[in-house]
Structure 1
């Protein structure tokens, strides 16, 4: 039992890191499955570039958007922002929101960049896309053409078939897949290096610009976590009690009811009143049932 409690405590303590690690592993595994099982380069002049870039960039964009959607901070920043606006007295709040959005974007970018880096290190997508881009193909073909224009054009025309390693390619072109893969891996390692350097600079800058000391900053993080947990607990209990009172009030018979021994059933108008769509237009009420219960309670008192 003690070991189980220890495991639970460790999970609670490091669940954020475990979640990030699991998401990263799933991203790496998904990229590997896509590149080996799903991706099939068409080896066509028209489609190579588009097909390769789609597999390289679209999953990156999807992961980036999903990263925003699943984070609570996104909705905390966006909720009611259109009504609040950026007035003169709230410029500081807008500045803080912009800072939070930048921090959120940096956090969201981890999985998309992981996909991009792994895809470039794998090289499959880049080899396919690069073979269909003339600006990438021309330097490779120029190296084997020896100023022969006809041979250069022939090489560029055959370039889209390089990923499929067809037998009718020029003998000098057999090494092109390796060259393209090497270019892809150089880009991948460069991306990783740039990201790590940016992370290091960002971490150092945020610590240097912190308005409080190290221990106070740690205390603030612990406090915010505890505050959120206690707020959820108290909010759940309060919401349950309020909902119970409102439902009880809705089914409460009116003060002028003649026979109170029979359970009261609300009228058809009352049922219609709580069955409409509610868009939260009134800050006093959280639902139509809440509004109806308060009106009924007021009428009974009067």
Structure 2
């Protein structure tokens, strides 16, 4: 367990993968516990079915974009002022791809599960079923056909309750839904395998260097935050030592001094003896402009 925690803390990419997995598990849990009931009304089934299939993935996508660290890194790279480090589109593209891959994981999982389950498709497209294969429905006309088709997803509603017609139509729609879902999964597996096998054959030095500098920017941000924490710790430690030393001196001079007297003493005395805060603030203000220059050189050897 200790080795796992060390690995997850080694890179922010590993942490983002864990967060992505947690969001996927939450999406699956919500899907399992979500009580879906089709309205079984003409012209409402499609809106409700497609809404239940599309709106939750959209919400999960927005959440994935908001909690994604690569979103912040991409925005910072886009809005930072020009300085020694030139802006590089390859690095920004790398950040964008990393952000989209992790943000789309939970929505795609929701859509695939909904296709394999089939209830959303049955509700949304029950009115699109051709009534000809179902002989009992072909005799109805006008609004009766639309109403009967709209009631296919509802087992408890008359006149299709526990009838072979309803079961056959629902089975047909579920078959189409699962076929689309399985085909999509196979397509993703095939594209992933092709990308893994064929991708390195077309990998250029520019793409390798872009991946390197994207990782470098990630680690640079991590160590910058750690440096800020260390600096804050040292600064707070110096100020707390100064505070207690000054309080001890005031107690020796005036043993009967109260807390109010100590507050007056604190107002008269400067408890910030560290000489570098103002200089440090200027450094932080110009951090984006003073980053060391890095560049991707496609026409030169990296070493």
Q: Contact conserved, 2:91 with 2:213, CA < 8 A, in 1? A: no
Find the counterpart in structure 2 of residue 81 from structure 1. Answer: 78
Match of 1:284 in 2: 282
Deviation at 1:206, TM superposition (A): 4.8
**Which runs of no fewer than 5 residues in structure 1 stay unpaired?**
1-6, 254-259, 268-282, 288-302
TM-score normalised over the length of structure 1 = 0.64
* Equivalent of residue 168 in structure 1, options 139, 159, 162: 159
- Alignment partner of 2:36 out of 34, 39, 43: 39
Match of residue 190, structure 1, among 174, 177, 183: 183
Task: Output the CA distance in 1 between the equivalents of 2:176 and 2:70.
Answer: 38
State the 1:41 CA deviation. Answer: 1.1
Once the two structures are TM-superposed, the CA of residue 156 in structure 1 deviates from its matched residue by: 2.9
Within the candidate set 102, 105, 119, 1:124 is matched to 119
More helix by share: 1
Determine helix, strand or coil for the equivalent of 1:141. coil
Contact 2:137 2:145 in 1 (8 A): no
**Are the aligned partners of 2:73 and 2:95 in contact in 1 as well (CA < 8 Å)?**
no
- Aligned to 2:131, the other structure's residue is in SS state helix
Q: Is the counterpart of residue 237 in structure 1 residue 227 in structure 2?
A: no
Are positions 1:211 and 2:205 aligned together? yes
Number of aligned pairs?
250
1:79 Cα shift? 2.7
**Alignment deviations for residues 160-204 of structure 1 (CA, whole Å, 9 cap, x no partner):** 111113341386344111111111111211221222233334444
- State the distance in 1 between where 2:3 and 2:186 align: 35
TM-aligned CA deviation for residue 9 of structure 1: 0.9
Structure 1 residues 218 and 70: CA distance shift in structure 2, 3 A: closer
TM value normalised by structure 2: 0.64
Residue 61 (structure 1) shift: 0.7
Please report the RMSD computed on the Cα atoms of aligned residues, expressed in angstroms: 4.5
